Amino acid sequence: MTMTTRMRPLRGQVTVPGDKSIGHRACMLAAIGTGASEIIGLSGGGDNQSTRHCLSAAGATFESGGANVVRVEGRGLRGLRGPGDPLDCGNSGTTLRLLMGLLAGIPGESFTLTGDASLVRRPMERVAAPLRRLGADVVTAPGGRPPVGLRGVTLTGGRVVGAVASAQVKSAVLLAGLGARSETTYVEPIATRDHTERMFVALGLPLVRVGDAWTLTPVDRVPPHRWSIPGDPSSAAFWCAAALLTPGSELTLPGVCLNPGRTGFLRVLERMGAEIGVEDPKMIDGEPTGTLTVRYGPLRGTTVTPDEVPDCIDELPLLALLATTADGSSEIRGAGELAVKESDRIAAMAALLRADGAHVEVHADGWTLAGGHRPMGGFIARTHGDHRVALCAALLDAAAPAPVVLDAPEAIDVSYPGFVRALADLRTPSARLRDP
Ligand code: S3P
């Protein structure tokens, strides 16, 4: 981005990619469905594509069904097959962890699940241990990491009390329970995003909730479905931040998933003084959606408490960045999970923000952030190959007077291919008007 375009206000409408969490689940439920499903609006980002490729390798057929539509021929509840070669989950923890649950109960089929240099460092026993309670034969590599080996057996079902606040663990258990011999109950330590539950209900699967316990009765088949994937709030969050960093900006983001388990960042931003409007509410496949409008305005510092963390876990790096620019200091705590994401996001974000000149104190479970910083730029950002760190670095580049050069800009493509281009386009309206 050139000096002349980087400081311009952002005005206009942006359609964000399909929600990544829902996209993974739609691919998986379609792949074990009986018959043909369709997925409208599946993200082209690397993570959803990893899920699609793993499921294709296991025998489900994915093909284009027209613009923005993927047609999936499901193989039935126990119809996916171990291809012999390991399934490569790329950078996607959700792919690997949810596939563990999806594939553990296919008798006689063996699977090995692995991923890139980041994924093979991430903890998998948090899923393996609960699956063993349901009767699964699952092994992890030393340190509880990938590769993960599964030898498919008919699962018994059972009761699992979650030890980590993780939608991935909960979802793996519920997916495993679909084909088990008897009921599976998952007790949540803290409520996390509930896309799996909403999607099961949309399919008419027998899942009931009593307090913090979800109980699933096994089924013989999963019906096919036409899934419409709403926009990804975690991607929309970057546009909210871009507008909040750039005076004179106003952006409209239509069709964004507004599941309360994903919109904690909106609640935090509103507390910081941001003006964010929600219009045009619609339910899509059991998910609330709407159009967000965000206007530039000054922010004040805040405290993000541990109980708020699950609803904004993926947006905490971004909130940390915004907090450095706020009036007054901020505290984000209870977020130790960030250390085991695609990178150690506590350390990676502290390094990024400090490289820009901001004052950040690091804790094992978050940060204390001094406010009053204005993005400076003029450095090479270490992204650690982590898409959310890379997107934060791209935002700093756009907001600072001097460039921020990303060491691995391609990391952004994991969740948001085209983000940098879209940001540049919004800033150069005159150039676009001149285009033939
Ligand atoms: C996800 C759950 C969260 C989140 C991840 C996606 C999901 O992880 O950070 O990006 O789709 O279930 P945890 O379940 O480990 O908190």
In this predicted structure, what is the pLDDT of residue 5?
Answer: 56
> How far, in Å, from the CA of 327 to the mean position of ligand 1?
31
91 lines ligand 1 (CB under 6 A): no
Beta bridge partners of 111: 150
What is the position in ligand 1's atom list of the atom closest to the CA of 166? Answer: 14
Q: Ligand 1 centroid vs 91 CA: distance in angstroms?
A: 13
* Amino acid at residue number 254: P
Ramachandran quadrant class, 401 (left: phi over 0; alpha: psi -120 to 50; beta: rest):
alpha
How high is the mean pLDDT of the chain? 96
pLDDT in tens, 265-317: 999 999 999 999 999 999 999 999 999 999 999 999 999 999 999 999 999 99
Confidence of residue 141 (pLDDT cuts 50, 70, 90): very high
Q: Does 2 have pLDDT greater than 80?
A: no
User: Ligand 1 pocket, 325 CB below 6 A?
Assistant: no
- E-only strand ranges, 93-249: 110-114, 137-141, 145-151, 158-161, 184-187, 207-210, 213-216, 226-228
Residue 427 pLDDT: 80
Neighbouring-strand partners of residue 366: 363
Domains of the chain from N-terminus onward: 11-16+233-428 (3.65.10.10), 20-144+156-217 (3.65.10.10)
pLDDT at position 273: 98
CA 151 to centroid of ligand 1, rounded, Å: 25
Question: 235 C-alpha to center of ligand 1: Å?
Answer: 14
Alpha helices in 12-107 (DSSP H): 20-31, 46-57, 93-103
Angle of helix 387-399 relative to helix 419-427, nearest 10 degrees?
20
Binding site membership of 314 for ligand 1 (Cβ less than 6 Å): yes
Query: pLDDT by residue (tens digit) across 213-271?
Result: 999 999 999 999 999 999 999 999 999 999 999 999 999 999 999 999 999 999 999 99
Atom of ligand 1 nearest to the CA of 313: 9
Q: Measured from the CA of 21, which atom of ligand 1 is nearest?
A: 11
- CB distance 37 to ligand 1 below 6 Å: no
Cβ(313) to ligand 1 under 6 A?
A: yes
Mutate to test the pocket of ligand 1, among 29, 168, 199, 232 (most ligand atoms within 8 A of CB): 168
Closest CA to ligand 1's atom 9 = 314
Give the number of the atom of ligand 1 that is nearest the alpha carbon of residue 171. Answer: 12
The residue contributing the CA closest to ligand 1 atom 16 is 166
Judge if the beta carbon of residue 94 lies within 6 A of ligand 1. Answer: yes
Known catalytic membership, residue 314:
yes
What's the whole-number mean pLDDT along residues 178-182? Answer: 98
Average pLDDT over residues 155-177: 98
Of 170, 313, 315, the residue with max ligand 1 atoms within 8 A of its CB, to mutate for a pocket test, comes to 313
Mean pLDDT of 41-69: 97
Q: Is 92 in the pocket of ligand 1 (CB under 6 A)?
A: no
Q: Percent of the chain at pLDDT above 70?
A: 96
Peptide bond into 429 cis (omega under 30): no
Q: What is the pLDDT of residues 314-323, one digit of tens each?
A: 999 999 999 9
The CA 436 to ligand 1 mean position distance, Å, reads 43
Ligand 1: centre distance to CA 342 (Å): 11
Categorize the per-residue pLDDT at 431 as very low, low, confident or very high, splitting at 50, 70 and 90: very low
d(CA 262, ligand 1 centre) in Å: 10
Give the CA-trace dihedral at 142, 144, 146, 149, to 10 degrees.
Answer: 90
User: Regarding beta strands 287-295 and 275-284, do their DSSP bridges make them parallel or antiparallel, or are they unpaired?
Assistant: antiparallel
pLDDT in tens, 4-27: 456 689 999 999 999 999 999 999
At a CB cut-off of 8 Å and minimum separation 6, what does 58 contact?
A: 31, 75, 80, 81, 82, 83, 87, 103, 111
Q: How far apart are CA 33 and CA 200, in angstroms?
A: 12
- pTM for the whole thing? 0.96
Which of the 8 DSSP states describes residue 343? S
Classify strands 330-332 and 366-369 as parallel, antiparallel or unpaired.
Answer: antiparallel
> Which residues, at least 6 apart from 105, have a Cβ–Cβ distance to it below 8 Å?
78, 134, 136, 152, 153, 154, 155, 176, 178, 179, 180
**pLDDT for 341:** 98
- The pLDDT of residue 282 is 97
- Asked if residue 194 has its Cβ within 6 Å of ligand 1, the reply is no
Q: Is 279 exposed, middle or buried (0-12, 13-18, 19+ CB in 10 A)?
A: exposed
Cβ neighbours of residue 22 closer than 8 Å, sequence gap 6 or more: 195, 199, 227, 229, 230, 257, 285, 287
Residue 235's identity, in one-letter code, is S
Kindly name the residue from 314, 356, 397, 413 that is annotated as catalytic.
Answer: 314
Q: Distance between CA 25 and CA 32 in Å, rounded?
A: 11
Q: Name the residue at shortest CA distance from atom 15 of ligand 1.
A: 166
